[in-house]
Amino acid sequence: MSWVDNIEAKARILHDQIAGMRVLAAEHGLDPEEASAPYYGLLRELYENDLPFARVLDSSDLVLRAEGPAADDESPRLKVLTDLFSGLRDQVGHISRALAGLGDSIPGKDIGVELGLTGLARGSVVLGVRLRRPGERASGEQQALPGYDEELFIATRSAVRQLAKVTRYLSDEGLDNDGLAQLVPDPATRDVILTAIHKLSPTGRKGVDKVTLTTSDDPANPIALTLKSRKMLASSLAEPVREETHGSFTGVVREIDLDARRFEIRKVKGPGALRVVYDPATVPRPKELLDVEVKVFGRIAKDARGRPRLMMMEKHEVLASSDDTPDLFEDGNA
């Protein structure tokens, strides 16, 4: 049963109760309108608040609710909506491109994220996001999505839906790292998701105090992200590798996230791809590493199969400039 079906079932019960109350009131000489007024109030709240939210839940892979002074209006300012809209879309894009690199896939420029937007009850703004399947066209598009295959779609949608689940492992005391490791065994994917949650958390500067993430399969009692959550995540993401195992790997740098201070290297012998966390003190001009062959050294975190997946880089060596690096997408290399 969908969430809209649940709301409609509740509405039918209220309609029956209203009808019964009006009959009962008339039999006892009471005003039917006055007797049934509380039930009409519940019905109004159901249609105005719960039903729109249920529609978003049913049609979305992830739902974001923002609360705070900027959202505390029947008609929130356009900038609030556009900031939330673009922020959510950017993070889903980062997730897809990171997973593409880690999975040794070739992402298209546009991963085809369709965002559904709705404003709900006073005091909140709700955004729903749904990922379009490969080949699914959005309104007005002339062709299917390029370079966005079924495997990447499934991995991205799973990671996007896990955003809401991962927030449940956050508390004032910090991250439940053991619980997170069970939910998302791959340390690189876990780092991708935590990075996205950090960027979606309120900054305290845009009139949004709380952000909650929910999914249709687990919408109850979501954990709110706050400025405190953002600071705690920033501290955790600065040192994401707790293991003391060291290693060195060679590959070509792809997909640099300058804000998160991370990049992926591809065509790595053994693991295939590796997510690398760098210190700006040791990489003052990270953009210059894009498409460059490098050897990285540092502490590594492995997945359940023992594959190195995430590195806290301590130093690196440039082995070949971008002009000397072979094309990864040539036949036999892709």
Residue 281 covered by a domain: yes
CA dihedral angle for residue 309, residue 315, residue 321, residue 326, rounded to 10 degrees: -20
Residue 38 lies in a domain: yes
Residues 55 and 107 in one domain: no
Determine, yes or no, domain membership for 30.
Answer: yes
Same domain, residue pair 192 and 282: no
CA distance 312 to 24: 71
Please indicate, yes or no, if residue 328 is contained in any of the structural domains.
no
Domain of residue 29: give its range: 3-59
Report the distance separating Cα 132 and Cα 110, nearest Å.
Answer: 11
- Find, among 134, 99, 156, the residue nearest to 272 by Cα: 99
Same domain, 126 and 75: yes
Tell me the CATH number at 315. Answer: 2.40.50.140
- Same domain membership, residue 94 and residue 45: no
Q: What are residue 321's phi and psi, to 5 degrees?
A: -75, 170
Is residue 212 domain-resident?
Answer: yes
Cβ burial of 126 (10 Å; 0-12, 13-18, 19+) is buried
Together in a domain, 44 and 152: no
Task: Tell me the average confidence (pLDDT) per consecutive run of 10 residues in the chain, 334 residues long.
Answer: 89 93 91 91 88 85 86 69 82 81 54 56 74 62 51 82 90 86 92 94 87 83 89 92 92 90 90 92 91 95 92 92 48 34
Last residue of a domain, one of 42, 59, 76: 59
| pLDDT value of residue 108 | 44
| Cβ count within 10 A of residue 218 | 12
Last residue of a domain, one of 196, 211, 238: 238
Which tokens is 235 given? 């501290």
Residues 187 and 289 reside in one and the same domain = no
Distance CA 109, CA 238 (A): 28
Please check whether residue 78 lies inside any domain of the structure.
yes
* pLDDT tens digits along 89-138: 888 888 887 887 676 554 444 455 555 665 555 567 888 888 877 666 55
The verdict on 76 and 155 lying in the same domain is yes
Q: Examine residue 272 and state whether it is found in any structural domain, yes or no.
A: yes
* 217 and 115 both lie in a single domain: yes
Q: Is the dihedral of CA 309, 311, 317, 323 positive or negative?
A: positive
**Domains: count for the chain:** 3
Is the domain of 216 the same as that of 121?
A: yes
Quick check: is 252 in a domain? Answer: yes
- Whole-model pTM: value is 0.80
Nearest one of 48, 120, 115, 111 to 83, comparing CA atoms: 115
Read off φ and ψ for residue 13, nearest 5 degrees.
-65, -45
Residue 232 and residue 131 in one domain: yes
By the 10 Å C-beta count (0-12 exposed, 13-18 middle, 19+ buried), 79 is classed as exposed
Question: Do residues 68 and 209 both lie within one domain?
Answer: yes
- Residue 128 is which amino acid? G
- What pLDDT, on a 0 to 100 scale, did the predictor assign at position 248? 95
Last residue of a domain, one of 59, 77, 107: 59
pLDDT confidence of residue 196: 93
Cβ-contact 90, 64 below 8 angstroms: no
Q: Are residues 91 and 178 in the same domain?
A: yes
d(CA 212, CA 264): 29
